Structures are given as structure tokens and as C-alpha cells.
Amino acid sequence: MKEKFKRIIQLYDEMISLPHKTEIARELRDEDDLFLLLLYSDMLGLPNPVFYYTLELYPYIIEKFHDWHLRMGMEHSPLDGIRCC
């Protein structure tokens, strides 16, 4: 009985919080996109004084790179060094 009640409350919460979750995910994605843009700026031709340090982050974000360049409207990887697709 207690489990059922919990499940109903959970379903109700999901119903109502869906648009909010989407909006927060969009905000966080926008922040991520900006971060990635700063990170790859040097490879895109924009001078980046901390390029040497951001280089170390590449292995950690390589999986996100493909989604990012698709979202930015680039069908294929714009960087010669990273051939993700």
C-alpha cells in the first residue's frame, strides 16, 4: 500500500515537473556549449591564452564533441585533429 502511494506521488511529481526538467537541461546544455566553444576556440582560429591547459581536458570531453558540433549546425567534425564522424 505504502509502495503504491509512493509510486502515485512519484508519477504526479513527474507529470508536473517535466517542463521544468527540460528547461533546466536546456540551460545546462547551453552552458556546456559555451564551455566547449571556449575550449575549442583555438582550433577554430580564435586565440585562447589558456589553450595549453584546456588541451588536457580533451580526452574527457571527446564524447560530447560529436553532439556539440551537430548542435552547432556542423554536420561533420570541423576539426582535423578530431575525426568523430
Which residues contribute to the site for other proteins (CB under 8 A)?
9, 11-20, 22-27, 29, 67
Q: Using the minimum distance from each CB to other proteins, give the nearer residue, 12 or 62.
A: 12
**H runs (alpha helix) in 41-57:** 51-54
Q: Using the minimum distance from each CB to other proteins, give the nearer residue, 2 or 49.
A: 2
Q: Using the minimum distance from each CB to other proteins, give the nearer residue, 24 or 57.
A: 24
CB 47 to other proteins: min, Å:
29
The helix/strand count (H/E) of the chain reads as 3, 0
CB 80 to other proteins: min, Å:
26
Distance CA 27, CA 45 (A): 26
